[in-house]
Structure 1
Amino acid sequence: MAQLSDDCFAFGRPMMTVAETVALITSRVLPLAETESIPLCDADRRILARDLIASIALPPYANSAVDGYAMRGVDLPATGERGFQISGRVQAGSGERVTVAPGEAVRIFTGAPMPAGADTVFMQEDVRLGDSGAVILPAGLTIGANMRPVGEDVEAGAVVLKAGRRLRPQDIALAAALGEIRVDVSRRVRVAVFSTGNEIVAAGTPRGPTQLFDSNRFMLMAMLGRLGCAITDLGILPDDRAAITDTLSKASSAHDLILTSGGVSTGEADFVKDAVESAGSLVFWRVAIKPGRPVAMGVIDGTPFIGLPGNPVASFVTFAYIARPAILALSGAGPKPIVSTPVRTAFSYKKKKDRREYVRVNLRPAANGSVEAVKFPREGAGLLSSLVETDGLIELAEDVTQIQQGDIVGFIPYSSLY
């Protein structure tokens, strides 16, 4: 479990910026010490626990990059054409040792080992066969062309994947090419998740006329799953301080993080903050971010707690920018900031100073061939359709108060946020 002191997140300001919040979390949360060895086929999106060092070079032998004819570079014709006798044939996977002599060429195929003495390959499209069976090679090729030398891709002994890397399919391919069948990864972060509120019910159960089906919990669990977490679904808790306090206390003993949705604002029925203070300590609960200002962070028996807003868009955004960095820090992942892409706006917009704001947009081709961002036509942090029907967010920094149509802003696709 992550064992933190109650005051490890102590911060003097009443409202924190997004950058301050993330810096505080990532500097205080320690990565889990436990690791496990897993089959390579199960390693996608897991966090590499130890540097992966190449046990062999890639490629491990010099080979041809094309189908063609291998020869000695010193025999290349300087001008005009020259005929070479075909002295052999080498296919990919062949173990036969073939040597090329002066004035000879060897028929070779992509991936086949280079004949001894050969260092250059002519593409078959660039040559012709003479009447005598010789291959006619033109001038103009450079020594070493179309040949893959040993270690061109990876040198033996090199660190190819560093610890803390969140593994992707291409990383797994590289490990497989080196002959690895298992990798050491950090243990999955164990996260307990629950929603709060008398106004929400679980799908599949009767819904009252003033109630909503719980959607945030499923969204958060899906996002946690994409981060490789082991998830415990604690369901929906009523607006009851004692029940929430008891659940928090019990969950802290078996989990690395507790993540909740709803009940962290200032309403009379928002009991989560009080419950956190009863079970442990509340270290901050407001972040200068829109949507999503009420975000609570606490420590319960050494286990970090993050309480997200109840509005689904606010919950989504604050998970991406507050909870996600905490989870990656716990898992031992190396820092990987979310990078935005410059796009031109097709709308004007005003915002308050001193808070980071995220606006839902679609991308479309502009008349001049560039890409422009189009704002979703409706406002509101409760509109799930605004997340479904848009491509991502534009990020407006704290010092920005307005943008005009045609301004350049940073666009972040949803795929970058989990």
Structure 2
Amino acid sequence: MGCCDAPGLMPIEQALEKLLNPVSPISETQTLPLADALGFVLAKDILSPIFVPPFDNSAMDGYALRLTDLEQSNVMPLAGKSFAGQPFEGEWPQGTCIRIMTGAKIPDGCDAVIMQENTEVTDSGIVFNQTDVKPQNNIRPTGDDIRQGDVVLEKGARLSPRDIPMIASLGISHIEVIRKPKVAFFSTGDELKKLGESLEEGQIYDSNRYGIKPLIENFGCEAIDLGIIPDCPATLKATFEKAQELADVVITSGGVSVGEADYTKDILEELGQIGFWKLAIKPGKPFAFGSLDNAWFCGLPGNPVSAVLTMYVLVQPMLAKLSGHTQWKAPESIPATTRSAFKKGPGRTDYQRGIYTIENGQFFVETTGNQSSGAFRSMSLANCFVVLERDRGNVQVGETVQIELFNSTLY
């Protein structure tokens, strides 16, 4: 039996499996104006109703011509103009050219565009200094970007700022999306104070909700902040009951560590089926997951770094599955060379905060300093996690470690 296989100490891989297996995507959908759909997950494939571009158009400012005319002479009179939105109309005499702008419709019969930098305007007409021209030169053909009927985005894609204008280019004004998961969250503990209030002896400010809320929203969910709940059984039970009526998922910070008030566990088990885990990760060992009568439940540790880490590593993939975001991917693991030592004891997978740099294509990483689960400045300074394996001990300068670059949810 390995050092992290002891009863009650759950590897991160097993925890993820227990989180993801029972969760199914939300089935409720809604139709939204495209302008309001950013961050939502598609409920069905988007098929292009048109060709993009819808007509052959010029890739350059220049002159449209027929190659057979260019073979006869490199000087041609101007027959007209084709601008974007104002195509050339009428007859196009042989031996002449047409002034054309980028994006403008290619005149019928044109088989090449010569950029204006390779021409001269004279009293005799346009002089073409480039005579070795291939057919379709500087012409973007119909459907060059997207063809009619193409699947441009698949069901399960979360709409990004790159997707919205692409959909707009198809003329699609409304799209069907999956309803965003609603996530209610609150902090527990008599020691917590609201921002702006004076601290009394033994009290601290509640920073966890300010880390949890943006993560929920960055995960593509709707955040419902229920505030700070004191260590009072009746109030705590009432808050849980309210939360599960409002939301698909209820998240708390604090109250899941060994030795904390037993009534928290009793209330949760009265309202559902909750497992209290000791995870083989650092920071973030205490964690709870299960189902209330009407919602999923995730109980985070109370220490600020532990709360954010478990949200990022454990809750994020669960919410991605709930939202139907089938294209979500876990952060990529990259080898890096250490430029500082990392202190670690065997037994748990350690997510230390690090700062990576890239030199000549090689990744290097150094510690942010204080790795305490209560020292949140180390998270603010970091741009990656240094993921040290369960059985690994101290790491010296020059060793190779695996790092996970923060994804967009932490930026």
TM above 0.5, yes or no, is yes
User: Contact 1:360–1:376 (CA<8 Å) still a contact in 2?
Assistant: yes
User: Contact 1:351–1:402 (CA<8 Å) still a contact in 2?
Assistant: yes
Change (3 A) 1:180 1:215: same
Change (3 A) 1:143 1:261: same
Change (3 A) 1:20 1:140: farther
Deviates more, 1:344-353 or 1:188-197: 344-353
Residue correspondence of structure 1 range 358-397 to structure 2 within 5 A? 358-364=351-357, 370-397=362-389
Of 161, 165, 169 in structure 2, the residue corresponding to residue 177 of structure 1 is 169
Change (3 A) 1:369 1:164: closer
User: Contact 1:193–1:233 (CA<8 Å) still a contact in 2?
Assistant: yes
User: Contact 2:388–2:401 (CA<8 Å) still a contact in 1?
Assistant: no
| Residue of structure 2 equivalent to 1:213 | 205
2:108 aligned with 1:122: no
Q: Deviations over 1:215-269 (max 9, x none)?
A: 1012211221223322222221222445433422332233200000011110243
2:156 aligned with 1:186: no
Q: 1:392 Cα deviation (Å)?
A: 2.9
User: Contact 2:40–2:177 (CA<8 Å) still a contact in 1?
Assistant: yes
| Residue of structure 1 equivalent to 2:24 | 30
2:227 aligned with 1:227: no
2:289 aligned with 1:297: yes
Q: Distance in 1 between matches of 2:52 and 2:30?
A: 27
Letter in 2 for 1:191: V
Change (3 A) 1:75 1:266: farther
User: Contact 2:350–2:387 (CA<8 Å) still a contact in 1?
Assistant: yes
Q: 1:417 Cα deviation (Å)?
A: 4.4
Gapped regions of structure 1 (runs ≥ 5) = 1-11
Letter in 2 for 1:111: G
Letter in 1 for 2:181: V
| Residue of structure 2 equivalent to 1:56 | 50
Residue correspondence of structure 1 range 141-156 to structure 2 within 5 A? 141-156=133-148
Provide the identity percentage: 37
Change (3 A) 1:100 1:404: farther
Q: 1:75 Cα deviation (Å)?
A: 5.5
User: Contact 2:65–2:98 (CA<8 Å) still a contact in 1?
Assistant: yes
Q: Distance in 2 between matches of 1:357 and 1:95?
A: 64
Q: Deviations over 1:66-90 (max 9, x none)?
A: 1011223555659xx8333332211
SS in 2 for 1:165: coil
Letter in 1 for 2:250: I
SS in 1 for 2:25: coil
Change (3 A) 1:411 1:77: farther
Change (3 A) 1:75 1:403: farther
Letter in 2 for 1:347: S
2:259 aligned with 1:267: yes
| Residue of structure 1 equivalent to 2:344 | 351
Deviates more, 1:283-292 or 1:216-225: 283-292
Q: 1:388 Cα deviation (Å)?
A: 1.7
Deviates more, 1:269-278 or 1:378-387: 269-278
SS in 1 for 2:246: coil
Q: Distance in 2 between matches of 1:100 and 1:64?
A: 17
Q: 1:99 Cα deviation (Å)?
A: 6.0
| Residue of structure 1 equivalent to 2:326 | 334
Q: TM-score, normalised by structure 2?
A: 0.89
Letter in 2 for 1:42: D
Gapped regions of structure 2 (runs ≥ 5) = 1-5
Change (3 A) 1:414 1:158: closer
Q: 1:349 Cα deviation (Å)?
A: 2.3
Q: Distance in 1 between matches of 2:205 and 2:308?
A: 17
Q: 1:193 Cα deviation (Å)?
A: 0.7
Q: 1:114 Cα deviation (Å)?
A: 0.5
Q: Distance in 2 between matches of 1:97 and 1:376?
A: 66
Q: 1:30 Cα deviation (Å)?
A: 1.1
Q: TM-score, normalised by structure 1?
A: 0.88
Deviates more, 1:322-331 or 1:356-365: 356-365
Letter in 1 for 2:30: E
User: Contact 1:239–1:271 (CA<8 Å) still a contact in 2?
Assistant: no
SS in 1 for 2:200: coil
Letter in 1 for 2:16: V
User: Contact 1:129–1:136 (CA<8 Å) still a contact in 2?
Assistant: no
User: Contact 1:71–1:100 (CA<8 Å) still a contact in 2?
Assistant: no
Q: Which runs of 4+ in 1 moved over 6 A?
A: none
Q: 1:309 Cα deviation (Å)?
A: 0.8
SS in 1 for 2:9: coil
User: Contact 1:292–1:318 (CA<8 Å) still a contact in 2?
Assistant: yes
| Residue of structure 1 equivalent to 2:15 | 21
Letter in 2 for 1:212: I
Change (3 A) 1:412 1:147: same
Change (3 A) 1:293 1:94: same
Q: 1:302 Cα deviation (Å)?
A: 4.3
Letter in 2 for 1:210: G
Aligned length: 404
2:116 aligned with 1:92: no
Q: Distance in 2 between matches of 1:15 and 1:126?
A: 72
Q: 1:148 Cα deviation (Å)?
A: 1.0
Q: Deviations over 1:57-114 (max 9, x none)?
A: 1111110111011223555659xx8333332211111144366565432211001000
Change (3 A) 1:135 1:297: same
Change (3 A) 1:254 1:89: same
Q: Distance in 2 between matches of 1:122 and 1:219?
A: 56
